[in-house]
Amino acid sequence: MPIVVISHPACKLHDMGSLHPECPARLDAIEDQLISSGLSYVLGRREAPQATREELERVHDPAYIDHVFAVSPSSGLAALDGDTSMGPHSLEAALRAAGAVVCGVDLVMNQEASAVFCAVRPPGHHAERGRAMGFCIFNNVAIGAAYALDVKGLERVAIVDFDVHHGNGTEDIFKDDARVLFCSSFQHPFYPYSGADTVNPHIINLPFPAGASGSDFRERVEAEWLPALEQFAPQLIFISAGFDGHVEDDMSDMRLREQDYAWITERLIEIAQRHADGRIVSVLEGGYALHALARSVVTHLKAFLHEPA
């Protein structure tokens, strides 16, 4: 079965201003690196559908959804929070980003893909049940996870979030749902200044100090995430794939490298092969140093193809 990349041209039209780090060039950089690496020619491709109202409402308050639709401007920018704005194309981009993850679930569940990478924006893991945050409008990975549970009938899914920022929105949505094992690693103290004090049997947060290295990351993942994932035995693994912990990314002060993203991807593939028929849906979150982001995504995808990083 192929590895499939899901995206949509609308995701490159979402634009929050020329100086905003969450910019359309992120997807262009990834695509350029896929082509130059040769991976573009061996990956399957799908265009993302728009998420439906029903799919959004599984994780977001109806009043919040109404607010997003109402705020969506026909011109200029409209603020959802201090970091997150909508332009004329942002609503479609957000719906396509969420719809990509739902489509990814269908592909892996129907055995049309062994794994999926959603090359989408805006990202999603900061979006809480009732508010936008941190560049995120709808919580893409949460929408996909809820679809897998409530429509596809799975009993256990895991969400592994290695973005440099805590996935507070995903935690907010699933904190009372033991069908979801949520694992989030992040620099702390750091935006959104949450997660370090979480006490919950199905949430495993790994806060790291500024300057943490790849060996620090691997040691704690081996000690805390991997045993919990084995015990939980997820039937589908979602990855909130944020690459802003890279040493070249000025957004943070962690010191991860491409090899670290390859390593965690390989470990998750092994768990998925043992418990989930290999099913993984990976969703782009952060990563703002364009060259490092593009190289890291290629390394992430090479792991699915069992190619050296």
126 catalytically annotated: yes
H or E segment and range at residue 66 = helix 62-71
Q: Is 238 helix (H, G, I), strand (E, B) or coil?
A: strand
C-alpha to C-alpha distances, 130 to 50, 58, 171, 241, nearest whole angstrom? 20, 12, 13, 23
Q: What order of strands is seen across the sheet that includes strand 237-241?
A: 44-47, 3-7, 115-118, 280-284, 237-241, 157-161, 180-187, 203-208
Q: How far apart are CA 262 and CA 152, in angstroms?
A: 29
Q: How far apart are CA 171 and CA 184, in angstroms?
A: 9
Q: How far apart are CA 206 and CA 192, in angstroms?
A: 14
CB 124, CB 167: distance < 8 Å:
no
Catalytic residue chosen out of the listed positions 60, 125, 126, 202: 126
Instruction: Give, rounded to a whole angstrom, the gap between the first and last alpha carbons of the chain.
Output: 21
CB 168, CB 265: distance < 8 Å:
no
Annotated catalytic residues are: 126
